[in-house]
Amino acid sequence: MKRRDFFKYSTATVILPTITTTLNATNTFVEQPVFPTRILKTKLLNIPKEKIVEEKVEVEITKPEIKKIEPEPKTKIVKKDKFLEEKYINDFISVREKLKFVQSHVGYGNFNVLSFDEMLRIAKYSSKTSAFSKSELNFLESIFYYDPSYHGFYGERISKNITDRINKKDINKIPRTGHYLFKGEPEKIYQKMKDDVGESLTLTSGVRSIVKQTKLFLDKLDSVDGNLSIASKSLAPPAFTYHSIADFDVGKKGFGYANFTPRFALTEEFLKMRKLKYIDMRYTINNKDGVRYEPWHVKII
């Protein structure tokens, strides 16, 4: 599928003027034109006319080197929140409904690792819903391929293609969680955390496919009335989640939705996690990606 433009926006460059000043004979700052060499004449004041001495002082005034200042690749100044454009609303609503149906059809756990092509086939051949229309597919592509830096999200693009899939041979389902982890380092680290923190620690979100992240992002977007700026601060857009390659979330058993709020940082489980030398936090306070503080998100890569 070809990438399509999702949002139209423009950028502007503001050039600030520079002022060149120098000291005159009375030690005050004055504007000076810039020449390679300037002859300055000074006279001694309050001296009889016949004793006035005129001298020429040759001063080298070199033209300052002007360096071109390249703008940063991503300007981290977003003055106004950005919203989903009205022309996408109908597709936004219908796509959410179809994703909800597919999730209920395959089950919550399986939906976490469902590929884009599998999702399309399920919708196409089900008698309870219809295949994704061309307009809906355009919307899904747009929400995947657009550049979210224009509304304040500066994370790294992790998935390059909307059809990228999770290899089922590379993951294991974690008992009593409904979530998967990648084999190798992620799974080993989680098990070690369980040993060091205690059985009260649990996996709250593991591997997420592009389809799963798309649904989460669209649901978040719906909850904030289409505000893309706010939505991306609490949930990475579909192509930008580290859950698709390694990271995972943890929480306190029985703590519910509070595990995804700053309240988790006040739990005994988190205090124990801070002492572990083999893990790190992906989204710290005031992180460079423009994402909210997530003490529950374990960084693997």
Apex CA 240: angle with CA 184 and CA 91, to 5°?
Answer: 125
Residue carrying structure tokens 């005129």: 54
- Element spanning 7, H or E: none
Q: Are 174 and 190 in contact (CB under 8 A)?
A: yes
User: What pLDDT does residue 166 have?
Assistant: 98
Label residue 56 exposed, middle or buried (CB < 10 Å: 0-12, 13-18, 19+).
exposed
The one-letter code for the residue type at 278 is Y
Confidence of residue 18 (pLDDT cuts 50, 70, 90): very low
Confidence of residue 301 (pLDDT cuts 50, 70, 90): confident
Confidence of residue 78 (pLDDT cuts 50, 70, 90): low
The CA distance from 139 to 144, in Å, is 9
Beta bridge partners of 195: none
Q: What is the mean pLDDT of residues 65-75?
A: 49
pLDDT digits (tens, 9 = 90+) for 222-257: 999 999 999 999 999 999 999 999 999 999 999 999
Number of H helices, E strands in the chain: 8, 10
pLDDT digits (tens, 9 = 90+) for 117-176: 999 999 999 999 999 999 999 999 999 999 999 999 999 999 999 999 999 999 999 999
User: What pLDDT does residue 20 have?
Assistant: 42
Among residues 221, 233, 113, 215, which one has the least CA distance to residue 174? 113
Q: Are 119 and 165 in contact (CB under 8 A)?
A: no
Apex CA 256: angle with CA 250 and CA 257, to 5°?
Answer: 85
The CA distance from 55 to 77, in Å, is 54
Checking DSSP bridges between strand 171-174 and strand 55-60, what pairing results, if any? unpaired
The CA distance from 32 to 61, in Å, is 10
Where does 193-242 show beta strands of DSSP type E?
Answer: 201-205
The CA distance from 294 to 301, in Å, is 16
